[in-house]
Amino acid sequence: RPRTDQHRPRFHLTPEATWMNDPNGLIRHDGAWHAFFQNNPFGSTWGNMSWGHAVSEDLATWTHLPVALPCSETEMIFSGSIVHDAANTSGLGAPGEDGPLVAFYTSAYTPAHATTPGIQAQSIAFSLDGGTTWDFYAENPVLTRDSENFRDPKVFFHPESGRWVMVTVEALDHAVHLHTSADLLTWEPASTVTHPGLDGGIWECPDLLRVQVAGADGAPAREAWVLVISTNPGGPAGGSGTYAVIGDFDGTRFASDTSPVPLDLGQDCYAAVSFSGVDGDPVLLGWMNNWAYAEQTPTAPWRSAMTLPRTLHVEPDADGTLQVIQHVIVPEGLRSVDLDVVDRDAAADGEPLQLDADEPFRLRGTLSPQGARRVVLRFGAGQAQRELVLGLDPEGHVVLDRGRAHLEPFAADHSRSLPYIPRAGVADVAFDLVVDRSCVDLELDGGRALVSQQIFPAAATVAVHVERSA
C-alpha cells in the first residue's frame, strides 16, 4: 500500500490529491456541513489558490465536490467565509426563492492584474443552489484599503444592531479591522482591534465568536465574545498557531482586558474559524498543519488535513477567571479504550495493549504524579519502531511529544507541545486522545486545553504502554 494512503486519516478532512491550507466558508446549511478550503487544484504545495469544497452529514466523513471558486491569471482566491443571506438583503438572490449563500473571500491580485497588482481586497461570490455552483459578483471588490496585506474576511449577522459585521486583518500591522453593512455589498469602517500581547508574527484569519459563559451550575448564564487570531510565526508551540481573546462586542467595538490564550497547545492548528449557521456553541475547524513545515509533510500528492471539529464556550474557574473550554467532536462509534480500567487490570503484569494502527482509535484516562505518569504509544517494531509520548514532565505539566514519532526525519525543531499546567490543587489530569493515523487530537482536563499534532510513524500496529511512577 502506498505510504501516502498509510498516513491518510479517515475522520479528518483531507484533499483528494492536491494541496490544502486554511478552512474557508464553513457553513451548516440545509442540514449539511460545507467546508471550503484553500486549495491548489494543480499541485501539492501552495499556489494557484482557489476554494476547494467538501460536504459532510456528520462532520466525520467528507465527500469532495468540484473546486468552487477557481483562481484566474489575475486573481488568487484567498481565505474567507460564507453567510446565508436568508432575507436577501444583498439582492443577489432570486425573487421568491430562498436567499443566496454569499461568500466573502480575499482577492489577491497577481502581478498580471491590470490596475491593482499586488493588492488584497475583499470580494463576493454567491450561490443560488445551496452552495453547489457559484458566480463571482460583477462589482468586485466590495472593500479595499489599497493594501497588500488586507485579508481573510469573516462575516456574521449581529441581530441587536441589525447589521452584518466583517472581521478582517491588516496582517503586518497586527490589527483586526471591523466593518459593518446593511446589505453585504457596501461596507463602513466600524473599529480596529490591536493587542500588545500578540506581536510574535503576522495576524491572519480572524474570527469573532458569540459564546456562552457557563454559570455555577454549568448552565449558560450570560454571553461573551471571543476574538480568534492566528499568528505566523509566534504560535504557542512554535511556527504558526492560533490564539483566543475573551471580551465583549457591542456591534461596533470589541473590548477586552484579558491576555490572549492559545487555542491549541500543539503545532498543528492554524487558521481556526467557526461554521456559520450553527445554533449553540460555535464549532471550529483548524488547518492541521504549520507554516514552519507545511510543504514538507510526507504525504504527496495530497497534503494537509483539518483538525477534528471542536466546540467552544467559556467558563469561570474557581477564582472567577474566565477560561476557554473546547470539546473535540469525536466521530461516533470510534474504537474507544478506557485506559484507567486497562491500567488497573494490567498494573500487575505491565502488558501493553495492542491495537491496529490503521483503524482510528480513542484512548481515555488520567495522568497522575502518583500513578500513570506516561502513556507511550509504540508504533511498529524493531528498527522502524516509533513512539508518541503523552506524559507529565518533572514539574507535573502535561506534554505531548512526537519527537520520535515519524519514520523519516520530520519537523525536528517542533516536537513538544506547549506544556499544559494543571489547575492549582489539581494534580491529576484527565485526557482524551484520538489517533486517526497521522492526525492526533488531544483534549485535556475536561476541555481546558487541546493539543493537535501530526505524526508519521507509518506502522500497522501500535502498543499502548502505561508507565507508572516508581
- Told to check if 392 binds ligand FRU by CB under 6 A, we report no
Q: Could you list the active site residues?
A: 22
In whole angstroms, how far apart are CA 131 and each of 16, 36, 128, 237? 20, 10, 7, 36
Cα–Cα distance, 13 to 283 (Å, whole number)? 15
Label each residue of the chain as H, E or C: CCHHHHHCCCCCCCCCCCEEEEEEEEEEECCEEEEEEEEECCCCCCCCCEEEEEEECCCCCCEEEEEEECCCCCEEEEEEEEEECCCCCCCCCCCCCCCCEEEEEEEEECCCCCCCCCCEEEEEEEECCCCCCCEECCCCCCEEEEECCEEEEEEEEECCCCEEEEEEEEHHHCEEEEEEECCCCCCEEEEEECCCCCCCCEEEEEEEEEEEEECCCCCEEEEEEEEEEEEECCCCCCCCEEEEEEEEECCCCEECCCCCEECCCCCCCEEEEECECCCCCCEEEEECCCCCCHHHCCCCCCECCECCCEEEEEEECCCCCEEEEEEECCCCCCEEEEHHHHHHHHCCCCCCEEEECCCCEEEEEEECCCCEEEEEEEECCHHHCEEEEEEECCCCCEEEEEEECCCCCCCCCCCECCCECCCCCCCCEEEEEEEECCEEEEEEHHHCEEEEEECCCCCCEEEEEEEECC
- Told to check if 22 binds ligand FRU by CB under 6 A, we report yes
Q: Residue 40 Cβ, how far from ligand FRU at the closest point, in Å?
A: 9
Query: Nearest Cα to 131, choosing from 76, 205, 181, 81?
Result: 81
Q: Residue 285 Cβ, how far from ligand FRU at the closest point, in Å?
A: 13
Nearer to ligand FRU (CB atom), residue 166 or residue 271: 271
- Told to check if 207 binds ligand FRU by CB under 6 A, we report no
Nearer to ligand FRU (CB atom), residue 134 or residue 203: 203
Q: Which amino acid is at 360?
A: P
- Told to check if 401 binds ligand FRU by CB under 6 A, we report no
Q: Using CB under 6 A, pick the residue from 11, 19, 33, 78 that binds ligand FRU.
A: 78
Q: Residue 35 Cβ, how far from ligand FRU at the closest point, in Å?
A: 15
- Told to check if 75 binds ligand FRU by CB under 6 A, we report no
Q: Residue 401 Cβ, how far from ligand FRU at the closest point, in Å?
A: 26
Nearer to ligand FRU (CB atom), residue 240 or residue 415: 240
Q: Using CB under 6 A, pick the residue from 75, 204, 207, 445 that binds ligand FRU.
A: 204
Q: What residues between 100 and 129 interact with ligand FRU by CB under 6 A?
A: 106
- Convert residues 213-252 into a mask of x (bound to ligand FRU by CB under 6 A) and - (unbound): ----------------------------------------
Nearer to ligand FRU (CB atom), residue 54 or residue 367: 54
Residue at grid coordinates 479504550: 337
Nearer to ligand FRU (CB atom), residue 74 or residue 385: 74
- Told to check if 18 binds ligand FRU by CB under 6 A, we report no
Q: Using CB under 6 A, pick the residue from 20, 49, 124, 263 that binds ligand FRU.
A: 49
Nearer to ligand FRU (CB atom), residue 21 or residue 307: 21
Asked if 228 and 195 count as a contact pair (C-beta separation under 8 A), the reply is no
- Told to check if 276 binds ligand FRU by CB under 6 A, we report no
Q: Residue 79 Cβ, how far from ligand FRU at the closest point, in Å?
A: 3
Q: Residue 153 Cβ, how far from ligand FRU at the closest point, in Å?
A: 10
- Told to check if 284 binds ligand FRU by CB under 6 A, we report no
**Cis peptide preceding 298, ω within 30 of 0:** no
- Told to check if 19 binds ligand FRU by CB under 6 A, we report no
Q: What residues between 148 and 187 interact with ligand FRU by CB under 6 A?
A: 151-152
Q: Residue 146 Cβ, how far from ligand FRU at the closest point, in Å?
A: 18
- Told to check if 441 binds ligand FRU by CB under 6 A, we report no
Q: What residues between 245 and 274 interact with ligand FRU by CB under 6 A?
A: 271
Nearer to ligand FRU (CB atom), residue 273 or residue 314: 273
Q: Using CB under 6 A, pick the residue from 18, 39, 79, 107 that binds ligand FRU.
A: 79
- Told to check if 304 binds ligand FRU by CB under 6 A, we report no
Which residues share a beta bridge with 191?
178
- Told to check if 289 binds ligand FRU by CB under 6 A, we report no
Nearer to ligand FRU (CB atom), residue 272 or residue 372: 272
Q: Residue 289 Cβ, how far from ligand FRU at the closest point, in Å?
A: 9
Q: Using CB under 6 A, pick the residue from 83, 102, 205, 357 that binds ligand FRU.
A: 205
# residues near ligand FRU by CB under 6 A: 12
CA triplet 285, 87, 282: central angle to 5 degrees? 20
Nearer to ligand FRU (CB atom), residue 79 or residue 415: 79
Decide the pairing of beta strands 261-262 and 353-356: unpaired
Asked if 8 and 437 count as a contact pair (C-beta separation under 8 A), the reply is yes
- Binding footprint of ligand FRU on the chain (CB under 6 A): 21-22, 38, 49, 78-79, 106, 151-152, 204-205, 271
